[in-house]
Structure 1
Amino acid sequence: MNGTPDLPETFSRALATVSRQWRRRLDMQFRDLGLSQARWGVILELSRHEEVTQIELARALGIEGATLVRLLDGLERAGLVERQPSAEDRRAKKLRLTAAALPLLEQMKAIAAASREDLLSEISPDDLRTATRVLGQIATRLENMGNGENG
């Protein structure tokens, strides 16, 4: 070994670095809206569903249920999220964004869109399509590996 990282290792490091830096950038920008990374993640994920259970939301965010409950408590106190009993399962709660959350969500989307435009403006559409395709393949592979598929 000559001390030079191989291509897969270099790619993995770059992917982790980009992900971390992107989240940090959004976190700094969303902080002006009074949102932590954890809170804006919940709001964005909830915006993708009309309603969702706490278990489904925790799974989608990759966090523990107890952590999510604390986040939801704060978002509910702020009037951004509401919990309703599930008609299908009395033990479950359905979650949805409130009407008060929608203007905040639109601000978040505008901030994220402007950041994406700034970040990606010097990358060609062909390169973005290639990167998107490759990242999609990696995401599918990771999902399959998580479901017990082997090499």
Structure 2
Amino acid sequence: MTAMTPARTEPDLSFLLDHTSHVLRSKMSAALAEIGLTARMHCVLVHALEEERTQIQLAEIGDMDKTTMVVTVDALEKAGLAERRPSSTDRRARVVAVTDEGARVAGRSQKIVDRVHREALAALPETDRKALLRTLNHLVGDSLATPVEAPRSARRARQPK
């Protein structure tokens, strides 16, 4: 650090959240890969099982762009886990329907996701886990609920030096 480096007056919340999110995503990716899924595939399966949803609705839930959603559903179809079908309520719309095999795989993948989350939180004492989750839920429901438009968004977490 040089004399010209500005003094930090607050903890680097961006780094802390970005880094933990990046590591958690990498662990999740590795764990789901063991059963041939990506996190996006898991997301689509689970949310398509909840109720009849279109690709557009599932893309919004999973924060995916249109192209990524199409590729994800194509992969699910190729694996025999889901298929595109006409909507029962709007004949112009097509929904993503999960096959019986897809539902079975979604059950396995949800157990994996839950395990990865449980293992991540296991590093903390029980009271700290509850406090962390309560605090994150508060932020997500309040000051960090809605992203703002930025000229260029960062896609990858910063790495510690």
Pick the TM interval, shorter chain. 0.7 to 0.9
For structure 2, the 5+ residue unaligned runs are 150-161
Q: Give the TM-score of the pair, scaled to structure 1.
A: 0.77
Task: Write the distance in 2 (CA, Å) between the matches of 1:45 and 1:23.
Answer: 19
> What is the CA distance between 1:134 and its match in structure 2?
2.6
For residues 9-41 of structure 1, what are the alpha-carbon distances to aligned partners after superposition, in whole Å with 9 as ceiling and x for unaligned? x11221122221111110000110011333233
| Consecutive aligned runs of 4 or more in structure 1 exceeding 6 Å deviation | none
Task: Write the distance in 2 (CA, Å) between the matches of 1:62 and 1:94.
Answer: 17
More helix by share: 1
Task: Write the distance in 2 (CA, Å) between the matches of 1:5 and 1:135.
Answer: 25
Task: Write the distance in 1 (CA, Å) between the matches of 2:64 and 2:108.
Answer: 25
From 24, 27, 30, the equivalent of 2:26 is 24
> What is the CA distance between 1:80 and its match in structure 2?
0.9
1:134 aligns with 2:154: no
1:115 aligns with 2:116: yes
Task: Write the distance in 2 (CA, Å) between the matches of 1:36 and 1:25.
Answer: 11
From 40, 43, 68, the equivalent of 2:42 is 40
Q: RMSD of the TM alignment (CA)?
A: 2.4
1:62 aligns with 2:63: yes
Could you say if the C-alpha distance between residues 62 and 114 of structure 1 is closer, same or farther in structure 2, counting changes exceeding 3 Å?
closer
Partner residue of 1:90?
Answer: 91
Structure with greater contact order relative to length (CA < 8 Å, sep ≥ 6): 2
Letter aligned with residue 66 of structure 1? T
79-88 or 14-23: bigger deviation: 79-88
From 7, 21, 28, the equivalent of 2:10 is 7
Partner residue of 1:149?
Answer: none
Partner residue of 2:156?
Answer: none
Partner residue of 2:152?
Answer: none
Task: Write the distance in 1 (CA, Å) between the matches of 2:39 and 2:106.
Answer: 14
Q: Give the TM-score of the pair, scaled to structure 2.
A: 0.73
> What is the CA distance between 1:97 and its match in structure 2?
1.7
